[in-house]
Amino acid sequence: MRRCSPTCRAPCKLFKPPGITMPGHFFTGNYAPLDTECDIDTLPVHGTLPPQLRGALYRVGPNPRFAPRDERYHWFSGDGMVHAFFLGDGKAAYANRWARTPKWQLEDSAGRALFGTFGNPATSDPAVHGKNSGTANTSMVWHGRRLFALEESHQPFEIDPHTLASRGHQDFGGAVDRRFTAHPKADPATGELHFFSYSPDSPGEPNIQYGVLDAHCRVTTRDAFRAPYASMMHDFMLTERHVLFPVTPLTISVERAMQGLPLFAWEADKRTHVGIGVRGQSMEKLRWFSSDACHVFHVMNAWDDGGRIVAYVMETDTAPGMPNADGSPGDAAGMAARLCRWSFDLESAGDAFERTVLDDLAAEFPRIDERFGGRRNRVGFYCCHSEQRVRGDADSVLYDSLACFDFASGTRQLYTVPAGDVISEPVFVARSAQAPEGDGWLLAVAWRAKEGRSDLLVIDAGELAAGPVATVRLPHRIPFGFHGGWRGGD
């Protein structure tokens, strides 16, 4: 591993351990991890960074420190690397660091990978059996003036917001003893952060834990309930009065795994269930709704509408990137997500809910103006493909466009990057605390395929089709990742 100088302008090397054959497409092109950490004090800016844009954009994604031990390596299981853009006074700086989790430290000391994919003991070195395999690689959240890198199998991993130094997993006074979620939900009115975890005690158990952190990172609520079956529940929904838990047929089965079949797999014969609870009441009183099998990895927003609850989600027919229960590949055509509206009639006697497709483009990574979290939102943003075609597993998440959807008019704006380039999840930053909904900027990282590097794009959210008002140019690339977050201030 090497570290760049503060004035680095050289492209970073690809990660290529000698004598190792990398498994799968997740080690080629811009999926390949970096072997470099660097600090760059000043980045060139094309255009003009808005003077109101002061703070930091953080992004995280898989960046394995060493070549994996097993041929079934999955992209989701790589060590987290945090990338930060610090913006202010029309200038931009950058830094990146691995999240130095206990797993990362053990492997760094050994000089090789010790843990199997997802910590699988069958492919892990016996010396690390039972030890923390957390990767902190999925999302970033700023809460209680603290920065956390999250994934759904371990506790939140704290990062210094200025230096990106690792501060370790946090249990918040022992109240979060094992798992968390990569997608907690903030209530902008109360300052609370709601979270959950699935199978908190042991894999394959249909137990769910639910909790609330107050504005000072103190756990004020802990509750638990049983789901209809054990499911990989990646995201959930929060409104002013309710909390909703989607249980989809992406099942977890230790018995299946012991037979050499996938631990996580799609079972199309099961139904999708959504449990709805009232905030402040016991989750044992959940009301369950159901539908034919469908899946959702990411939720845009949800809100109370009189006697109904409405949610905007990215729905798929089957779970993206996941096999069937017999180990066969999943249906690639059914893995494309689309913006959908789910509507739950709380005054009805039945358990059905309505599902309506709102946009026919394959899309993912939805975001909103977070001041409207849990409230009715007029606009939403997401990545999408500008053309309709079936894509394989490797390029299904390589989006060429950003979309802004106006739910009041049902219209959509698109911004498409040049052919071959790929754009990341858009993070919205309001122009000011008093600005109307959607008045601000979208921040998104773009992979420039021909140049082998990345840019940060700053786009006026109300004029999406016009493209960036400013482009911050990196000398190297940021590997494809998942989610990001914004910290306002100097």
Dihedral of CA 408/294/283/276: which sign? positive
Distance CA 173, CA 218 (A): 8
Distance CA 393, CA 319 (A): 11
Does 216 show up as a binding residue in the annotation? no
CA angle (113 as vertex; 108, 116 as ends), nearest 5 = 135
Does 143 show up as a binding residue in the annotation? no
CA angle (198 as vertex; 192, 203 as ends), nearest 5 = 150
168 φψ region: left (φ > 0), alpha (ψ -120 to 50), beta (else): left
Distance CA 83, CA 342 (A): 34
Q: Say if residues 60 and 80 touch (Cβ distance below 8 Å).
A: yes
Chain centroid to Cα 230, Å, comes to 21
Rg (CA), the chain: 21
Chain centroid to Cα 406, Å, comes to 23
Does 483 show up as a binding residue in the annotation? yes
- In terms of Cα–Cα distance, which of 291, 184, 310 is closest to 242? 310
Does 298 show up as a binding residue in the annotation? yes
E strand segments, 324-439: 338-345, 354-357, 363-367, 379-384, 401-406, 411-416, 422-423, 427-430
Distance CA 304, CA 144 (A): 26
Q: Output the known binding site for Fe cation.
A: 183, 234, 298, 483
Q: Output the known binding site.
A: 183, 234, 298, 483
